[in-house]
């Protein structure tokens, strides 16, 4: 099967079957060549309904999860996006499709380099990948973002990420511990309030450093 045919099948049998129905989102994934982002050894599995190994216990998100994330936060023209955990850059490219800019932090230098090359090769010019630990001092900066996406899970809510969400902004995060984790959409209502909506159950690898008690605010 050609990559183009596999991409069409992925959209019909994975994304649509998992309630990714926003036509704009489906068009984004129809344009993106996933095979350009996966490790060379796994190109034949680029459109399979699976998490692709990236080494060191890390895995590339399954296509249906990537689709649900983009549909949940749906970046719009003029909006700034912060992604925690670049991985291969595939989700980064999808988030950048309609956004003004994407700033993506990746703790692994090899993945950051791979993603930077893949994004450039795919013609994505409005995404910047930084080799940086999201928990390092000043890593998140002092500004706010319209969209924030965490591609790894947190054991419990962490307000440090919510504080960087602009009013009207949306954040995707998975919270909990295996075997039960829940994906949430967090929306900033005003300077003091956020609304949390449960999206679906899943299991994602923990964000590195997120298990340190001193990271959290109660």
Under DSSP, the state recorded for 196 is E
Res. 216: pLDDT tops 70? no
How sure is the predictor about 211, in pLDDT bands with cuts at 50, 70 and 90? Answer: low
Output the six-digit token pair for 61: 């998100």
Pick the CATH number of 3-215 from 1.10.10.60, 3.40.50.150, 1.10.3720.10, 3.40.50.261: 3.40.50.150
Q: Could you write out the three-class secondary structure of 99-156?
A: CCEEEEEECCHHHHHHHHHHHHHCCCCCEEEEECCCCCCCCCCCCCEEEEEECCEECC
User: Domain locations in the chain?
Assistant: 3-215
Pick the range with the lowest mean pLDDT from 161-165, 195-199, 214-218.
214-218
Alpha carbon distance 44, 2 (integer Å): 10
67-121 pLDDT, tens per residue? 999 999 999 999 999 999 999 999 999 999 999 999 999 999 999 999 999 999 9
CB-side neighbour CA atoms (13 Å) of 201: 4
3-state DSSP helix/strand/coil % of the chain, to nearest 5: 35, 30, 40
How sure is the predictor about 60, in pLDDT bands with cuts at 50, 70 and 90? Answer: very high
| Cross-strand partners of 194 | 188
| Cross-strand partners of 206 | 153
10-40 pLDDT, tens per residue? 999 999 999 999 999 999 999 999 999 999 9
Reduce the DSSP state of residue 218 to 3 states and report it.
Answer: coil
pLDDT of residue 210: 86
Res. 157: pLDDT tops 50? yes
Phi, psi of 136 (to 5 degrees): -70, 150
Under DSSP, the state recorded for 78 is T
| Cross-strand partners of 81 | 102, 147
Please name the residues in contact with 17: beta carbons below 8 A apart, sequence gap of 6 or more.
64
Alpha carbon distance 111, 85 (integer Å): 9
Reduce the DSSP state of residue 206 to 3 states and report it.
Answer: strand
Res. 198: pLDDT tops 70? yes
How high does pLDDT run on average in the chain? 95
Higher pLDDT, 1 or 177: 177
171-184 pLDDT, tens per residue? 999 999 999 899 99
pLDDT of residue 1: 73
pTM listed for this prediction:
0.95
Using only C-alpha atoms, the chain has a radius of gyration, in whole angstroms, of 16
Name the burial class of residue 117, with classes exposed (0-12), middle (13-18) and buried (19+) by CB atoms within 10 angstroms of its CB.
middle
């Amino acid at each position: 099967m050609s990559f183009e045919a596999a991409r069409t099948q992925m959209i019909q049998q994975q994304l649509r079957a998992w309630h990714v129905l926003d036509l704009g989102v489906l068009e984004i994934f129809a344009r993106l060549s996933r095979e350009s982002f996966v490790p060379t050894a796994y190109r034949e599995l680029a459109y399979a309904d699976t998490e692709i190994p990236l080494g060191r216990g890390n895995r590339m998100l399954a296509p249906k999860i990537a689709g649900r994330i983009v549909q949940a936060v749906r970046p719009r023209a003029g909006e700034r996006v912060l992604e925690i955990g670049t991985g291969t850059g595939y989700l980064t490219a999808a988030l950048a499709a309609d956004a003004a800019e994407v700033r993506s932090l990746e703790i692994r230098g090899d993945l950051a380099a791979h993603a930077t090359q893949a994004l450039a090769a795919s013609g994505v010019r409005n995404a910047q990948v930084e080799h940086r630990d999201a928990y390092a001092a000043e890593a998140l900066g002092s500004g706010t973002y319209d969209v924030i996406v965490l591609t790894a899970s947190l054991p419990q809510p962490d307000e440090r990420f919510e504080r960087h969400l602009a009013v009207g902004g949306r954040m995707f995060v998975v919270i909990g511990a295996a075997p039960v984790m829940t994906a949430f959409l967090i929306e900033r209502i005003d300077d003091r309030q956020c609304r949390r909506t449960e999206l679906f159950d899943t299991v994602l690898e923990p964000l590195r450093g997120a298990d340190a008690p001193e990271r959290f605010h109660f």
